[in-house]
Amino acid sequence: MFLLQGFVSRLHRRPPVHSGVSALPPRRFNGPQLMRARRAADVHRRELAAAVGSKSQAIVAGWEAERTFPPGEKLPVIAKVLRVDIDVLFPREGPCDLADLRCDAGYAQYAAAEKIGISKYGLSRAERGERQLDVEWIGPLATLYGVRVDELLAAQRLAFGEAVPASPSADLPALTLALRAQVAERPEGESSPDVIAAGVNQEAGAEIIRGDQVDALLRGMPGDRVFAGAQAARAIAITGLASYFGVSELHLDDHEHAESRVLDDLRYLASRYDISLAARGGEGGVSPDMIAVLSDLLNREQNAPSALRRGRGPA
């Protein structure tokens, strides 16, 4: 896995002139993860190459083998074509400077300058921390990049080597906390996102989660965002993770999704056994037939070997 300073367009960018050290690279790139995401999306290399304006699929092969790397401004379109959140596929490693904002908006330097009618040379100097943006450029650039003016000014301060306070972190999702607790109990060699994903997929007999998705969940990204709002994919992945760690699915999921999953399961049981889920006659609660089915399932569960209850099969 490589840490890239804005990728090819910024690999040789010198540190801001006012800083003693270079800032941390803003995004991570992992060629094999890119290949897995492309295959999961059923996108051919030539399709991805065409989306970034290349006629040769060899450029994508080079990225996946990590011989070359895509320009930073191409990352948004790559993530969009593969239907993966950019912060899942290319995780950020710190706050944005001016070049990061431009790349995340999908603009090459010359294109951004041309779009709002400013000097490419002036924009380049600002990104290198040599000369601040002209005041009249700030509003149009913020609009072009889709950020607030204060975010643009914070990015400019970072480009000049000034310390930018970290944004206050929101409460971590329940899924993140539960996964971190499970990972903390594993040996170091078995706790990486790629190893976890490989173990989950091996148990499932199919690829239901990728290493970059496990990494995003552990970093605190909401599951709905990690799986692009696909609730079925999210539910399958949580089932696989629960099986891999040997815990209940409800142990991993947050309350809202857990309750929804329980209700879905109850509706399935009602349909399978052709019984009513709710009691009739305005009594409320679960029907007597459903209670009988649940009691029978509970008895069978309690009498089953522990390994089978965890969904792992016999030892």
The first and second tokens of residue 288, run together, are 């007597």
CA torsion 237→241→242→243, rounded to 10°? 100
284, two tokens:
């409320």
- Give me 38's structure tokens: 């492309």
pLDDT tens string 184-214: 988 877 889 999 999 999 988 989 999 999 9
Cα distance between residue 243 and residue 228, in whole Å: 23
Secondary structure class of 11 (helix, strand, coil): coil
Other CB atoms within 10 A of residue 150 CB: 9
**How confident is the model over 161-189, as pLDDT tens digits?**
887 766 655 678 888 999 999 999 888 77
Which of the four pLDDT bands, split at 50, 70 and 90, describes residue 290?
confident
> Does residue 287 surpass a pLDDT of 90?
no
Q: What is the mean pLDDT of residues 63-86?
A: 94
Which residue(s) pair with 28 in the sheet? 3
Give 41-45's long-range contacts (Cβ < 8 A, gap of 24+): 41/81, 41/82, 41/83, 41/84, 43/81, 43/82
Q: Identify the weakest region by mean pLDDT among 22-31, 55-64, 120-129.
A: 22-31
**Could you give the CA distance from residue 226 to residue 175 in angstroms, rounded to a whole number?**
12
| CA 74/CA 66 separation, integer angstroms | 16
Our CA dihedral for 217, 221, 227, 232, rounded to 10 degrees, sits at 70
Determine the Cα angle at 55 with ends 54 and 61, to 5°.
75
Q: Is the pLDDT confidence value at 122 over 90?
A: yes
Could you write out the DSSP letters of every residue in 222-272? -HHHHTTT-HHHHHHHHHHHHHHHTS-HHHHS-HHHHHHHHHHHHHHHHHH
Give the pLDDT confidence score for residue 97 in this predicted structure: 92
Residue with token string 């996102």: 193
Give residues with Cβ within 8 angstroms of 309, minimum separation 6.
301
Take residue 51 and report the two structure tokens written for it.
Answer: 């989306």
Mean pLDDT of the chain: 82
The mean pLDDT value for 11-40 works out to 62
d(CA 253, CA 175): 5
